[in-house]
Amino acid sequence: MDELAYEQEVGSVAGWLRTGLTRADLSDRLTADLPAVISGQAKGRVSDEDRVLAVVQGVAACDVALACLVAERLGVTA
C-alpha cells in the first residue's frame, strides 16, 4: 500500500473495513507499506513463503511508475 490512511477511506481497503475487518486486524497483517520498502526502512519479500498484497488505486502516474520499476528490476522488456 502506498498510503494506508487514504486506502482506509476509499477503494478495496475501505470495503474490507465496511464488511468487518477492523483497523487493528489490518495493522496486524500489514508488515510494511510501499514507502517503507522503497526507502529501505522495511524489507519486502524475504522468502518464497512471503506474500505481497498490492492495492493499486489513486494516482495513475504513480502506478505506471511503479509498474515500470518492477518490470525493470525483473528484466522485462516491451
Instruction: Transcribe 2-59 into DSSP letters.
Output: --HHHHTTSHHHHHHHHTT--HHHHHHH----HHHHHHTSS----STT--------S-
pLDDT at position 57: 67
- For the cut 70, the answer to whether the pLDDT of residue 78 exceeds it is no
The chain-wide mean pLDDT, for the chain, equals 82
Number of domains in the chain: 1
pLDDT tens digits along 19-38:
998 988 888 888 888 788 88
pLDDT at position 58: 65
pTM over 0.75: no
Q: Which domain holds residue 26?
A: 4-74
pLDDT at position 44: 84
d(CA 21, CA 36): 23
